Structure 1
Amino acid sequence: MTTTMISYRLDWTDPDGKTHTSAVTYDKPSAEHRKTRLETEGCTGIVIRQVKPGEL
């Protein structure tokens, strides 16, 4: 049996309007935690998206 890890990136807009995409990938729980931290920092438009294998 093989387990495949699904990776996620986040896209968001910081409080001064600059858009970002995470430079690293996360597992789902870590992505959710990062989203919560970004919300606390006042960021908006936060999207967690699945990354396909090999996608940058």
Structure 2
Amino acid sequence: MDNYRVTWVRARDSRPMVSAVSYDQPSAEHRKADLEAEGATDIKIVKVQPGE
């Protein structure tokens, strides 16, 4: 299984953020949609190695 992290810029204070957990592809896409709804910007799904 491939693992992914989500990075984004928080809308309220422009702080860059990185997910604390790894996701599978569908879950990462779902998280991205949630962040878009919250107004986050520069959202990226990044492939990572297991345990990273």
TM-score normalised by L of structure 2 = 0.92
Greater relative contact order (CA < 8 Å, ≥ 6 in sequence): 2
1:52 positional shift: 1.4
| C-alpha separation in 2, matches of 1:54 and 1:35 | 21
Aligned-pair RMSD on alpha carbons?
0.8
Structure 2, unmatched stretches of 5+, are: none
| C-alpha separation in 1, matches of 2:23 and 2:43 | 14
Larger Rg: 1
* Aligned counterpart, 2:45: 48
| C-alpha separation in 2, matches of 1:29 and 1:48 | 11
| C-alpha separation in 1, matches of 2:9 and 2:21 | 17
Structure 1, unmatched stretches of 5+, are: none
2:46 maps to amino acid: R
* Aligned counterpart, 1:36: 33
1:28 positional shift: 0.2
1:54 positional shift: 3.4
| C-alpha separation in 2, matches of 1:54 and 1:7 | 9
User: How high is the sequence identity, in percent, across the aligned residues?
Assistant: 55
